[in-house]
Structure 1
Amino acid sequence: MTESDATQLRSAADLLGMVPYVIGFHPTDSVVLLLLRPGHQLACGLRLDLDAPVEAIVAGLTPVIERQHVTGLVVIGYGPLSARDTLRHVIDTLDTIRPVIARFLLADGRYYCLRDACRCTAAGGVRFDPRATTVAAAATVQGKVAWRSRADLVALVDPDPVAQQQVREAMDRLPARMPNTSELMAAARQGVRLDDQQMAALAVTLHDRTARDLAWESTDDHMWQQDLWLDATRRIPDSHVARPAALAAWCAWRRGNEVLARAALQRIASTGRLDLLASIVFALVDNHTDPRSLPWPLPAGITVADLLQQD
């Protein structure tokens, strides 16, 4: 949801209702930072553990602030009321780097404003359900998803051993004439879940660099693409999973879901098969690069091969 513009949010409830769709899941025991550019445009959202040392938060945040030209911050804590003082310390420290324009704590089904000497209604707590906001309803209509927890989101890239074995066996029975990448993606675009033989063909064809480049050029931020590459990441054997998982990470990043992108990249790293495509996505995620800053498809005259060079 990186395209969201904070100037369009009309209330604290709207702002807080947006957060799960920015980071991809409903946070707990967390500090969420929304980084804003001039005009209160959302640059990105970052989630850290509530008990993370302030020094570590500042060290990790400072280069991102500079790269993203951040002019203001929104800081939201998720945890017990007893975390109020800890969160205020974090906020006061961050406020010395960039102005913190809004600060809240969500605890026990209420949100609290943490502005010093604030007398607004939220100073004493306002009952709040992030799933019942107008922002949540609009996001759902747009096909955006906020998973129940970070663990549920990360599990989307976990391998399915039974499915992997079925695809492995199908790879041993592939016909001489296999469907190509374009044909397989066209089927997925029509809402067809690839069967074992089709998934086996996808695993094999993506070993070809031209096919990989075609798949990359054809993948943006569409839900059917996310579904396809996540399904492939779960079902394709580890020996062949690096490229589909890299495409899953790419699509997740294009959709503004850095947590899911990083999970897909870690799936690749666990196999020891990190290639240049995955390395490029790693760099984009680590730098919190705004997907809007990279035009896609690429302009005429620039190809994926120009970016990848030789691998």
Structure 2
Amino acid sequence: MEFRDPAPFPAPASSDGPLDDAVLIGDPGELAAGLPQLLGYRPHESIVLVSLGGGTGRRVGLTVRADLPPADHARQLMAVLARSLTTDAPRAALAFVVSEAPDETVPLLPPGVGPGGGWGTDLPHRSLVHDLVLALDAVGLPLEQALLVRGERWWDFDCPGGCCAPGAGTSLPTGVGELAAVAVAAGTVVAADRAELARRLAPPGESSRAAMEAAVLRTAPRSAGGPREVATGRRRIRSVVARCRPGPGQQPPGDAEVARIAWSLREPDVRDWALLLSLGDDAAAAEALWIECTRRAPSPLDAFPAALVAVCAWLRGDGALANIALDRALDSEPGNSLARLVEDALAACVPPRQLRALLIEAGRSAGVAGPPGASAR
């Protein structure tokens, strides 16, 4: 599956999803229960759109999420989300309003229509769903269903039955569904929220940061890089990547190693070669190394490692981490060349498989030999 962030709007928006297998859905409640697996974290007060496509029209595709907007921004945000979803060329869309808002008090009949009928209750955020329907219709995309997900239950906004009455709802499925099974097989760890994902890249404490800054000063290159420095940088990265492979022998790099690698990534020939590590058999180990360098290297040396994290995450379909890492890179160094390229790719909704092919072709054109196992999928 591919995922992207919609364009930034009043409330932070993010796309998320670490799964890359074809998943067909049946019961919408199962998909509602699987939103944390789709996004990589548990959404709160969010609007989530899922594209449906493929030969059956039931393949889960692009997923976009945004914070629930204030009423005066709802229509514009829904238009942004609808346009984002069309990049996946879906047949239809599903919408999930994830909110703990209580039921709303509404008049039983609109003003001026028949005798006064008193007041009743309705599901929250129905006006938001109305704005979404209009936005999807404007781009020629039908909304198959719109569900409210609240308190471990779900409601269909269009269901007239008692099961979807404001005080009723249907319990979310329990047990391990298909989405959860795929996520477990992919090694996905669901975060409690998006902030928890951001903390995975958070800098260390003050004492560790001071030691890291000292290591950066000690290892600063004394001259411009050349072939010898490029070869040394590649060997150093390869050695540390081997120690970062998942398993009992995993060993994080020391401060001096992080500093030297962060410096070496300022060399384009080292960086281009390192980028291709995300395509090979050691992609997971390389990502672990880039995360360590992003966490520990001071600004702006953390920018290129953060951009590499974004590439690795996007290739896995993990749009949430990709966007968090990209934000880190651009905050640290707004003009960072790799981060800007990744930003353009995400803004254009380049699917992971297409990004993989583009990286391989770029490596070939530049004469950069890719790592073992680097092949288009």
Task: Please report the TM-score for the alignment, with normalisation by the length of structure 2.
Answer: 0.71
Task: Say yes or no: does 1:47 pair with 2:108.
Answer: no
Look up the match of 1:110: 153
CA deviation digits over 1:171-225, x for unaligned, max 9? 3444997752222222222522112122122112112111111110111494433
Alignment map for 1:126-141 (pairs within 5 Å): 126-128=170-172, 133-141=177-185
Instruction: Determine whether 1:206 maps to 2:265.
Output: yes
Confirm or deny that 1:155 pairs with 2:203: no
- Asked if 1:280 is matched to 2:341, the reply is yes
Aligned-residue identity in percent: 23
Query: Structure 2 residue aligned with 1:166, among 211, 219, 226?
Result: 211
Mapped contact 2:47–2:98 kept (Cα < 8 A): yes
Aligned pair partner of 2:288 in 227, 247, 250 = 227
1:73 and 2:93 correspond: yes
Instruction: List per-residue Cα deviations over 1:87-127 (Å, max 9, x = no partner).
Output: 4324432452411112211112211122242x384563122
| Letter of the 1:44 counterpart | L
SS state at 1:77 partner: strand
Instruction: Say if 1:129 and 1:170 are closer, same or farther in 2 by CA, change over 3 A.
Output: farther
Which is further off, 284-293 or 206-215?
284-293
Structure 1 unmatched ranges of 5 or more: none
Structure number with larger C-alpha Rg: 2
1:1-311 correspondence to structure 2 within 5 Å: 1-6=18-23, 8-38=24-54, 39-52=57-70, 53-79=73-99, 80-82=101-103, 83-96=124-137, 97=139, 98-117=141-160, 119=161, 121=163, 124-128=168-172, 133-162=177-206, 163-174=208-219, 180-189=236-245, 191-220=250-279, 222-296=283-357, 298-299=359-360, 302-303=363-364, 305=366
Q: What is the identity, as a one-letter code, of the residue corresponding to 2:68?
A: L
Which amino acid in the other structure matches residue 46 of structure 2? S
* Count of matched residue pairs: 305
Query: Is 2:315–2:356's contact at 8 Å kept on the other side of the alignment?
Result: no
Describe the shift of the 1:167–1:100 C-alpha distance in structure 2 as closer, same or farther (beyond 3 A): same
Q: Deviation string for 1:240-296 (max 9, x for gaps)?
A: 111101101111211222222222122122223432211111112222322122334
Instruction: Verify the 8 A CA contact 2:276 2:363 in the aligned structure 1.
Output: no
| Pair 78,306 (structure 1): closer, same or farther in 2 beyond 3 Å | farther
Q: CA deviation at 1:9?
A: 2.4
In the superposition, the TM-score normalised over structure 1's length comes to: 0.85
Query: SS at 1:111's partner residue?
Result: strand
User: Take 2:170 and 2:270, find their aligned partners in 1: how far apart are those partners?
Assistant: 53
Q: Secondary structure at the match of 2:278?
A: coil
Deviations 1:113-150 (A, max 9, x none): 22242x38456312227786453244123201221011
Q: Helix, strand or coil for the counterpart of 2:35?
A: helix
Partner Cα separation in structure 2 for residue 111 and residue 41 of structure 1: 21
